[in-house]
């Protein structure tokens, strides 16, 4: 059994001083014992735990902003950090803690704080209504602890399972527990939480944004999905897929969520009918993590009340940095409105590639000189490109255009691949605002994800008709209206493809491809970009496709990178056995 020796400097949450001659509590201090007897202080303690939730906008170590290390996009401002992963050379010591190793510390710090609450909450002796409130807060803490354990197993596999805070008499030699046992613990905790959490309708007003039954069931589904997928389900135990299916049906039975009719707008509206769990940002500014000040504050500050995703993803013509560039080969995956992938590959010289058109296309279904016409509407909802309507103008990606790398202003922030991410952008944001922080919520969970999870589980259980139905519910929604899929051919590939498109740039792709054990192929594909060329006389545009960096073979993904290495600091201070491939 793998073992981890935790050499922990135990930091007590509250320091309580006593004096034999004077038994008075200073008026400016709050003792640890006082906290757990005061409902207001208990609630403040729980509120502070919400701040520990990572989000997918401007964090890396604890966040979910993984699009730049998948086949979705290229992060043009930080390849010197991310190339270690995308080129297959990740080690436990080759990258800074901020990008990779830091989540281990962040997660176990949060788990320690949750464990403190669960140990101390029994000291409260209020009335019945107040005790019920503590019961709900306890359910929230159980969810938060389960959230971090779910994230840990998804990154590292087997991890230490710590249920109580350490003290001076604790045994710091703890084992790495198998994923299946961790998931059993997570599900047990979430079932306890579900019983005491409110429904969505009861979490409005002052409770808006707090954890609900739906969020807890959604997290339960995610944990079970990891455990059922090939990365961890090495014996193909179908009973694990039945558990996923049952949990999805438990969520649907709440009858509290529905698919949005506004695909583009739902990412700006935490009250949308599809949203299940999210992180909101309040009117507070400045870093809440002192580590940021000591490291890379300007680029990656963990803002207490905002984030900078609009600045990072806006077109350079509007003052943005356009940091993450969607790849042409990802754009190609968006179907025509007739349900066909138009481009299936490239041939020719690396700097002048020729698209290989799908032979199943009928005349008029796809025009190479108008490549964005007649496409799945989710392409324009998720990605902006030349001629996209943005704010009050059309974007100009052609050489010399306002949004190109040869523009008059801000040219260094022009896209290197010809695209930008529009999903979740708030077009009302501007560099001219006095306070430029962005406020849109990070959507952790929405109903479409679980429809697709249910479809995948039903496929694995042999219920292909149900699987097709739930995929088509998403494709047929208002504002998307894509043609239905059928069960003919490779249905699992169709489900994976729908998940790729529907959940693009939301953080899911990195988790999905690894759990499917497809990363060796999908994440090893070379990057294709596009240059828009505008004839200065006629205004006619043509498109030159190229392999980024002028060569093939730039991407590599060894199978062992499906799990992160245990941080080298933990290896050095313990007898922990490293994950395979990082020795």
For the stretch 494-546, pLDDT in tens is 999 999 999 999 999 999 999 999 999 999 999 999 999 999 999 999 999 99
Instruction: Give the span between the Cα atoms of 404 and 397, in whole angstroms.
Output: 5
pLDDT above 50: residue 323:
yes
302 found inside a domain: no
Query: What is the per-residue pLDDT for 17?
Result: 33
- Residues in the chain, total: 583
Query: Among 156-165, 226-235, 302-311, 383-392, which stretch is predicted with the lowest mean pLDDT?
Result: 302-311
Read off the tokens for 10: 């135990």
Residue 80 CB coordination number (10 Å): 7
Query: Among 69-78, 343-352, 361-370, which stretch is predicted with the lowest mean pLDDT?
Result: 69-78
Q: Are both 536 and 573 inside the same structural domain?
A: no
Q: Are both 375 and 405 inside the same structural domain?
A: yes
Q: Classify residue 493 as left (phi > 0), alpha (psi -120 to 50) or beta.
A: alpha
272 found inside a domain: no
**CA of 180: how far to CAs of 100, 150, 153, 240, 518, in Å?**
24, 11, 10, 10, 21
Q: Are both 57 and 97 inside the same structural domain?
A: yes
- When pLDDT is averaged across residues 425-449 and rounded to a whole number, the result is 87
Q: Are both 564 and 542 inside the same structural domain?
A: no
Query: What is the per-residue pLDDT for 28?
Result: 44
Q: Are both 427 and 558 inside the same structural domain?
A: no
Q: What is the CATH number of the domain that holds 87?
A: 1.25.40.890
Element (DSSP H or E) covering residue 300: helix 297-300
140 found inside a domain: yes
Domain holding 177, by residue range, is 1-196+554-583
Q: Sign of the C-alpha dihedral, residues 217, 222, 227, 229?
A: positive
Q: How many domains does the chain have?
A: 2
What's the mean per-residue pLDDT of the chain? Answer: 87
Query: What is the per-residue pLDDT for 435?
Result: 60
pLDDT above 70: residue 455:
yes
107 found inside a domain: yes
418 found inside a domain: yes
Within 8 A by CB and 6+ apart from 25, the residues are 31, 34
Within 8 A by CB and 6+ apart from 532, the residues are 386, 397, 398, 399, 401, 404, 418, 541, 542, 543
Q: Are both 187 and 170 inside the same structural domain?
A: yes
471 found inside a domain: no
Q: Are both 530 and 580 inside the same structural domain?
A: no
State what percent of residues in the chain have pLDDT above 70.
86
Instruction: Give the span between the Cα atoms of 490 and 486, in whole angstroms.
Output: 10
234 found inside a domain: no
DSSP per residue over 331-371, as a string? HTTSPBTTS--SEEEEEEETTEEEEEE-TTPPTTS-BTTBT
Q: Are both 432 and 561 inside the same structural domain?
A: no
Query: Residue 156: pLDDT band by 50, 70, 90 thresholds?
Result: very high
- When pLDDT is averaged across residues 414-436 and rounded to a whole number, the result is 88
Query: Among 11-25, 120-134, 283-297, which stretch is predicted with the lowest mean pLDDT?
Result: 11-25
Q: Are both 543 and 558 inside the same structural domain?
A: no
Q: Are both 395 and 344 inside the same structural domain?
A: yes
Q: Are both 385 and 412 inside the same structural domain?
A: yes
Instruction: Give the span between the Cα atoms of 92 and 569, in whole angstroms.
Output: 9
CA neighbor of 241 nearest in space, from 48, 436, 460, 34: 460
304 found inside a domain: no
Instruction: Give the span between the Cα atoms of 572 and 336, in whole angstroms.
Output: 53
- When pLDDT is averaged across residues 2-8 and rounded to a whole number, the result is 40
Give strand pairing partners of 307.
Answer: 438
Q: Residue holding tokens 């255009």?
A: 401
Most confident of 9-13, 71-75, 398-402, 450-454: 450-454
Q: Are both 136 and 172 inside the same structural domain?
A: yes
3-class secondary-structure state, position 547: strand
């Amino acid at each position: 059994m793998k073992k981890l020796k935790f050499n922990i400097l135990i930091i007590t949450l509250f320091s309580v001083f006593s004096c034999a001659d004077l038994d008075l509590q200073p008026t400016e201090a709050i003792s640890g014992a006082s906290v757990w007897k005061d409902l207001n202080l208990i609630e403040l303690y729980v509120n502070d735990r919400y701040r520990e939730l990572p989000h997918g906008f401007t964090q890396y170590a604890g966040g979910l902003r993984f699009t730049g290390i998948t086949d979705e996009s290229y992060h043009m401002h930080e390849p010197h950090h991310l190339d270690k992963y995308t080129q297959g050379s990740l080690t436990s010591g080759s990258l800074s803690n901020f990008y990779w190793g830091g989540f281990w510390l962040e997660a176990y710090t949060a788990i320690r704080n949750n464990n403190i609450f669960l140990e101390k909450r029994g000291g409260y002796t209020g009335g019945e209504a107040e005790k019920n409130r503590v019961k709900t807060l306890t359910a929230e803490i159980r969810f938060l602890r389960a959230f971090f354990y779910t994230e840990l197993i998804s990154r590292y596999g087997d991890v230490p399972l710590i249920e109580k805070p350490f003290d001076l008499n604790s045994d710091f030699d703890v084992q790495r527990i198998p994923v299946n046992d961790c998931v059993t613990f997570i599900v047990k905790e979430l079932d306890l939480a579900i019983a005491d959490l409110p429904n969505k309708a009861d979490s409005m007003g002052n409770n808006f944004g707090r954890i609900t039954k739906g969020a807890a069931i959604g997290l339960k589904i995610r944990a079970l999905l990891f455990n059922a997928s090939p990365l961890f389900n090495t014996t193909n135990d179908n009973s694990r897929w039945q558990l996923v299916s049952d949990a999805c049906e438990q969520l649907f039975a709440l009858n509290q969520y529905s698919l949005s009719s506004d695909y583009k707008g739902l990412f700006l509206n935490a009250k949308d009918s599809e949203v299940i769990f999210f992180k909101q940002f309040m009117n507070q500014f400045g870093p809440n993590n002192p580590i940021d000040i000591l490291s890379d504050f300007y680029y990656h500050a963990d803002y207490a009340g905002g984030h900078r995703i609009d600045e990072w993803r806006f077109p350079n013509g509007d003052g943005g940095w356009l940091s993450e560039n969607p790849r042409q080969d990802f754009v190609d995956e968006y179907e025509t409105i007739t349900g066909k992938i138009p481009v299936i590959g490239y041939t020719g010289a690396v700097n002048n590639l020729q698209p290989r058109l799908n032979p199943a296309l009928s005349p008029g279904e796809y025009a190479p000189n108008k490549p964005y016409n007649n496409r799945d509407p989710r392409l324009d909802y998720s990605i902006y490109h030349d001629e996209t309507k943005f704010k009050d103008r059309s974007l100009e990606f052609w050489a010399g255009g306002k949004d190109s790398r040869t523009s008059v202003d801000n040219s260094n922030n022009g896209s290197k691949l010809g695209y930008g991410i529009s999903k979740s952008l708030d077009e009302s944001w501007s560099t001219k605002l006095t306070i430029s922080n962005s406020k849109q919520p990070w959507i952790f969970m929405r109903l479409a994800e679980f429809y697709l999870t249910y479809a995948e589980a039903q496929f694995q259980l042999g219920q292909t008709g149900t699987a097709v139905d739930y995929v088509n519910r998403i494709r047929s929604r208002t504002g998307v209206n894509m043609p239905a899929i059928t069960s003919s051919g490779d249905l699992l590939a169709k489900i994976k493809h729908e998940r790729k498109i529907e959940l693009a740039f939301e953080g899911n792709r990195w988790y999905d491809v690894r759990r499917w054990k497809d990363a060796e192929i999908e994440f090893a594909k070379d990057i294709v970009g596009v240059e828009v060329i505008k004839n200065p006389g006629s205004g006619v545009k043509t498109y030159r496709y190229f392999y980024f960096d002028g060569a093939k073979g730039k991407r590599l993904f060894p199978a062992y990178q499906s799990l992160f290495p245990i941080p080298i600091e933990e290896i050095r201070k313990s007898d922990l056995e490293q994950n395979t491939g990082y020795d």
